[in-house]
Amino acid sequence: MIRVILFDIDGTLVDCRGAGRLAMERAWLEIYGIADAARGMKFGGRTDQFLFSELYRIHKVPVDATRHEQFIAVFIHLLHHYLAQTDGSLLPGVWGLLRRLREEVPGVVLGLLTGNARLAAELKLRCFDLWGFFAVGAFGDDHHCRNRLAEIALDRSERYLGRELEGREVLVVGDTLHDVRCAHSIGASCLAVGTGSVSWDQLREANAERVVRDLTEVKGCDLLGEMSA
């Protein structure tokens, strides 16, 4: 039986119309004076910490702790600004699924497993009144590697529940191959959803336990039984 469901954010719950990329590029320009710094970089499924380290590597900028802190502060400030400007949207079926899971299966813990830094995740989800659904989470500033984030999310879920969890009690919901891999790395199953940057066919080839076009195809209680069978 599934006891914990860990959701990715971008492409899975919400579409922020590239607000994160805009904020990161503008913050990099303000702090390091380089325009279009993230051009060509793929953001889907990557952690913020990984993306930051890629920017330092690609542009051969030495990491200075004080300037990095300034960069993060500007990034978060600009993310807030761009989220208000870019007219993002909740993805189909999200609100109904979260509400059904909370109301119909109260024993199941809802959590986050996202590459977004914690503050970025909170800003994005508060835009859509979703932040309050989630009791636990692992975030992009916890580690640069998504598989490690899955371990951290599992550990925090265990502490929240006060007992150890087996991988098969955990379900990861995400929109990229990275989500599928990180789920399997902790023995969890994955519900892959085709509302992000990866095609439905590619997700099917990634061996997710279930692939749906969007979350309107998922009914809360059925999901728990089906995925843990």
- What is the binding site for Mg ion (CB under 5 A)? 8, 10-11, 175
φ, ψ (nearest 5 deg) of residue 152: -65, -40
d(CA 89, CA 17): 8
> Least distance to Mg ion from the beta carbon of 23, Å?
16
> Least distance to Mg ion from the beta carbon of 146, Å?
10
> Least distance to Mg ion from the beta carbon of 102, Å?
22
Q: Which is nearer to Mg ion, 74 or 196 (CB)?
A: 196
Q: Which is nearer to Mg ion, 74 or 110 (CB)?
A: 110
> Least distance to Mg ion from the beta carbon of 12, Å?
5
Q: Which is nearer to Mg ion, 61 or 192 (CB)?
A: 192
Cβ-contact 206, 186 below 8 angstroms: no
d(CA 122, CA 50): 19
3-state percent breakdown (helix, strand, coil) of the chain, nearest 5 = 50, 15, 35
Distance of alpha carbon 12 from the chain centroid: 8
Q: Which is nearer to Mg ion, 25 or 175 (CB)?
A: 175
- In sign, the C-alpha dihedral spanning 65, 68, 72, 77 is positive
> Least distance to Mg ion from the beta carbon of 227, Å?
19
Q: Which is nearer to Mg ion, 74 or 206 (CB)?
A: 206
